[in-house]
Structure 1
């Protein structure tokens, strides 16, 4: 298969040898093309957009066009959004839609049933396996079908299920028919979500502390099983918007079309370039404006996927602030932009990310892009968590400055833990509860340590603490100074030595706590009281020796 194909248009310039230049489209499929008429796995409208609008000189344009092809190739090669298919039937329900449409669809081999919207009490399942609870003449029954067509905008359950489509989104019956025939008998979809349950802050915990992803999901692609405390995923219902990725605090969710490792490598193509981020759904083909020198578009699949780590990585890879051209800013992306803009304002007196929702805002934002001194930083480590990578980048950016505190948001939360060292016994329940490495046990110092920059403030450590009024979580924002990124000691203790053999076996506070609790119950039994201060081996020996004397 040919890789990089450029179909000639009004923009004529010499291109690198890696790009094949053609006068007209080929009658075969290629990997990437700048022309919709060319059969291609990837249509890249940003290529013509850049050539038509950029103020770069001819040599720079030639180099950058190759980068745009390479960026698309990289995303394709390293994407994990594998295409899947499912066989579905031809049973269609029309909800409050005229019977003329039913007759039309029946002529094209679809089985059609017309119902009133209020007859459909509930709907569940997915495309090809939908089930409706229908009420008719005071009786309720279940009805299995494949696809639902509706007109109302009031039914959230219709909007959330795959296989349910708004009839008013189609200009005529012919367009609708073509759409339905593309879905039946084979329905193609991709897996957009990757999941690591080991660092999920909802998975199998005793109490609920997260599940932001399920809360934000516009469909039934992510649901909570509150009994098991597990997330349930339905890839066929996923729209690929990426909203769940941008709010996942631990990084347990990743975006299959552009996984984190792939994204890190992609950013190397945009070093020393001012970046214009454009979601795939935005129309570029008819957009005409002045694209300043050194500005290069970056096309992304999901409009809501960008997290604080994505934005900071792009900023530090390019060395310049950037523009996000989108008509929708997700909750996670919005809070990430707010956080970074607050930091950049204090550090550089600059805006980090300009958001443009239309052509006028885009043109104005593009004129404000500039390279920022000391911003560039190249650090990516795929073995670290999302928060760890973000913390490394932010620590470099802040350097030795003290830029105050940025308040915590609803989705992107920061804070700190306070511990009463007098009541903490270093049982380390909180360490076991933390799955992002913010709380650790330092065996060399017999200390409990905490790094606020890694903490997602889920609160599970607070729930897990065995001591009353000992551990408190404060969601008080992110402190922008160098010490914020270090581990600090919250509590420490000396190890207690067994009074028989001298072996260290527990912290002094833990031994004393148990002793104070058990002494009254032992009613002056000196052997039992002595055993409280012994290691496990000596405890047995002491008790056996006492029994032999009896």
Structure 2
């Protein structure tokens, strides 16, 4: 449990009674928000073609049970003296691999002294010692129940129902234009790839590729995405924001104090809370999410701006370990900002508990952070960065301390860059690499401009810079200058020595002379590097040794 224990006043029974009534009002208000219907769905088709993988002693009995209803193929991973006689195909494999999803699994296997074989299946029952699909979140249609007989029976019963047409929401939305994964052959942010527990997100050159069929809807990718290029579409952040805002407004209106949002999943977290029953403190407002990894600093800052004294996230041990690490990092960044603004805390709590008694102790120490004097009235936006702007502006306006700049740890999605003017040649490679529009050229003039408000600290500018002249500075600025372009470097233009047209900068030309002076194309012709592109071609094409006849004027 990530808890910073503080001394709290003893419980006031009168206020606790008000808090309990206020929580009831808050939950009713949140539940009154209409359910969001997905605009886009993902469709699966399954005819029931089933692959069963495992040793003979484990695979064949369950294959027999499935074969009474479904078309079955068995892949045995142990060598057989004689092939078992069955009314369905049985193969012996030395190596096997499976990939795909419900209705579209592809299997490859190789028997001793035989070529590689392959097949397509709708369902897979994996009884092998080590799962063939190792991802934490398993694809729809893939069952790997382990050695427990009850779990195997439950998996088989579920598979018998997985025939027909199925659909699920498309959980994500992706805006390629603002993705910070890569530019100009350089790699930048890979946070979404690293955190995806379904292995649904893959590197696709300078962009990412997301499989909607593998996506399990955890929303963790949108939580860690610094630009908001990938966002949660079901449910969208706006709906979560409306539920939070309605709950907190009703809670305060009913006389409740120091409310804490307890975000939990609708299955394991809800079951754990049900075991606590009435022992949950009145100021703790449970709010079920599609997944506990689906909210990050934008939603948390908004909740505190709305008047929440804290946000607690309940993790029950069923989540992927990378989710816990990501939420830990996000909470550290968010708390650094709130501390820097002077709000007494802590405000954020990551609960990793598996038993009701542990949860009861943790909730007694739920955060009691300071909140703005006035609750915010803005709504969560489609764009993550817009929501952050609204929330941070409100928190800063009402903050006990109003610093101009807050230093942040590495990995924060806010910051500035420092440019070494002596090294920078104003080649503008960084401008082309920036996915957020934070870096801009001089529109014809040799200068580099920077808008700090847009910077997401993806690092693409630094990795792209051929002069290694850029250094990241993670920080949060509240200076008015952060909203507009600031000149980071500028110089006078260099003019072509032949036609006098400006075509670069003095630093750039000097760099070219240093790097290309010994190149055969310029040996003995270094002046060509001081010419614009057009004049350089003309100079190269002009004959140098040909005799010229110069007409003489008659006297």
**Both proteins in one fold, TM over 0.5:** yes
Q: CA deviation at 1:155?
A: 3.1
Deviation digits for residues 441-483 of structure 1 (CA, Å, limit 9, x no counterpart): 46599742334564333332234335x34x2233x54357647
Contact preservation (8 Å) 2:224, 2:296: yes
- Residue 208 to residue 508, structure 1, CA distance change in 2 (3 Å): closer
Q: CA deviation at 1:254?
A: 1.0
Q: Aligned in 2, Cα 1:215/1:64: closer, same or farther, shift over 3 Å?
A: closer
1:408 maps to 410
Residue 106 of structure 1 aligns with which residue?
Answer: 67
2:487 equivalent in structure 1: 489
Partner of 1:311: 300
Is residue 128 from structure 1 mapped to residue 103 from structure 2 by the alignment?
yes
Does residue 163 of structure 1 match 2:141?
yes
Residue 113 of structure 2 corresponds to: 138
How far the C-alpha of 1:151 sits from its partner, in A, is 3.6
CA–CA distance in structure 2, aligned partners of residues 444 and 330 of structure 1: 47
SS in 2 for 1:178: helix
The answer on whether the counterparts of 2:188 and 2:458 sit within 8 Å (CA) in structure 1 is: yes
User: CA offsets per residue over residues 175-210 of structure 1, 9 Å max, x none?
Assistant: 334311221233443322221111112256412223
Distance in 1 separating the partners of 2:431 and 2:370: 40
Gaps of 5+ in 2: 1-15, 79-92, 252-258, 543-547
- Matching residue of 1:242: 219
SS of the residue aligned with 1:437?
coil
Aligned counterpart, 1:355: 350
Give the CA deviation at 1:342.
3.0
1:299 to 288, 301, 313: 288
Q: 1:150 aligns with which of 104, 123, 126?
A: 126
State which drifts further: 453-462 or 498-507: 498-507
Is the 8 Å Cα contact of residues 387 and 453 (structure 1) preserved in structure 2? no
Find out whether 1:341 has 2:330 as its counterpart.
Answer: no
* Match in the other structure for 1:208: 187
Partner residue of 1:66? Answer: 28
- Distance in 1 between residues matched to 2:163 and 2:439, nearest whole Å: 52
Contact 2:41 2:167 in 1 (8 A): no
Distance 1:137 1:146, change over 3 A: same
Structure 1 distance, partners of 2:391, 2:445, is 29
Pair 1:457-2:451 in alignment: no
Matched, 1:277 2:239: no
Contact 1:55 1:290 in 2 (8 A): no
CA gap 1:323/1:215 in 2 versus in 1, 3 angstroms: closer
Tell me the residue number matched to 1:325: 314
Say if 1:389 and 1:442 are closer, same or farther in 2 by CA, change over 3 A.
Answer: farther
CA–CA distance in 1 between the matches of 2:164 and 2:211?
A: 20
Match runs of 1:190-205 below 5 Å: 190-202=169-181, 205=184
- Paired with 2:27 and 2:186, the residues of 1 have a C-alpha distance of 52
Give the C-alpha shift of residue 415 in structure 1. Answer: 5.3
Aligned partners of 2:53 and 2:125 also within 8 Å? yes
Secondary structure in structure 1 of the residue aligned to 2:223? helix
SS in 2 for 1:250: coil
Paired with 2:470 and 2:496, the residues of 1 have a C-alpha distance of 32
Contact 1:95 1:114 in 2 (8 A): yes
In 1, the alpha carbon distance for the partners of 2:210 and 2:460 equals 23
Please say if residues 449 and 490 of structure 1, whose CA atoms lie closer than 8 Å, have aligned partners that are also in contact.
yes
Q: 1: CA distance between counterparts of 2:436 and 2:50?
A: 47
- Please report how far the alpha carbon of residue 112 of structure 1 lies from its aligned counterpart in structure 2 after TM superposition: 4.2
SS in 1 for 2:173: strand
3-state DSSP class of the match of 1:157?
A: coil
- Tell me the TM-score normalised to structure 2 length: 0.71
Q: Retained in 2: the 8 A contact 1:84–1:189? A: yes
Deviates most, 365-374 or 87-96: 365-374
Question: What are the equivalent positions in structure 2 for 1:428-467 lying under 5 Å apart?
Answer: 428-441=428-441, 447-452=447-452, 454-466=454-466
Query: What is residue 95 of structure 1 aligned with on the other side?
Result: 54
Which residue number in structure 1 is paired with residue 88 of structure 2? Answer: none
Report the alpha carbon displacement of residue 398 of structure 1 after superposing the two structures with TM.
4.7
- The answer to whether the 8 A contact 1:246-1:307 is kept is yes
Match of 1:180 in 2: 159
Deviates more, 1:488-497 or 1:132-141: 488-497
Deviations 1:487-530 (A, max 9, x none): 5431123567999999988667668878999999698999x89x
How do 1:18-29 residues align onto structure 2 when only pairs under 5 Å count? none
Aligned length: 481
Pick the aligned partner of 2:229 from 227, 231, 252.
252
Rate the CA distance shift 1:350–1:91 in 2: closer, same or farther, 3 A: same
Change (3 A) 1:184 1:449: same
Distance in 1 of aligned mates of 2:526 and 2:219 = 64
Describe the shift of the 1:68–1:182 C-alpha distance in structure 2 as closer, same or farther (beyond 3 A). Answer: farther
Deviations 1:403-432 (A, max 9, x none): 7533214xx566542222244343432122
Q: Distance in 2 between matches of 1:262 and 1:501?
A: 61
SS at match of 1:286: helix
Q: Which moved more, 1:372-381 or 1:270-279?
A: 372-381
The answer for the alignment partner of 2:370 in structure 1 is 372
- Give 1:434 shift: 0.4
Return the offset for 1:300. Answer: 0.8
Query: Is the aligned partner of 1:223 residue 2:202?
Result: yes
Residue 113 of structure 1 and its aligned partner are, at CA, apart by 1.6
CA contact (8 A) 2:343 2:369 kept: no
1:58/1:238 CA distance change after superposition, 3 Å: closer
